Amino acid sequence: MSEAELSHDHDHCAPRLLPDHLRPILAALLSGATDTAASHRLNVSPRTFTRRITELLDYFDVQTRFQAGVKIGLSGITEELESARKTDPRQPPFGVVPPR
């Protein structure tokens, strides 16, 4: 993604509500857990976790995790999710995957 594409993309990176089933996946990625560790913490198979990551990449219309990270950072979605957590204190802090 070139700098021109990135600045152009920034216009439509307004915060969007991430589908509920992808929130724990994003939180696991942000926590720095390996795919295997994250899949175990979420009680899903590694294959399912990988499919969810693919869904996350598709959701942000990117090819790589790095590109997704840039788009997520520009979109403000982490702030949106953290704000949602503050309104519902039962949700764990963003980036923390609750054990099941």
In a domain, 3, yes or no: no
In a domain, 70, yes or no: yes
**pLDDT value at residue 39:** 93
**pLDDT value at residue 59:** 93
**pLDDT value at residue 12:** 47
CB atoms within 10 A of CB 59: 15
What is the domain extent for residue 78?
A: 19-85
The parts of the chain modelled with pLDDT lower than 50 are 6-15, 94
Task: Give the CATH number, domain containing residue 48.
Answer: 1.10.10.10
**pLDDT value at residue 16:** 56
In a domain, 99, yes or no: no
**pLDDT value at residue 10:** 43
CA distance 86 to 59: 24
Q: How many independent structural domains does the chain possess?
A: 1
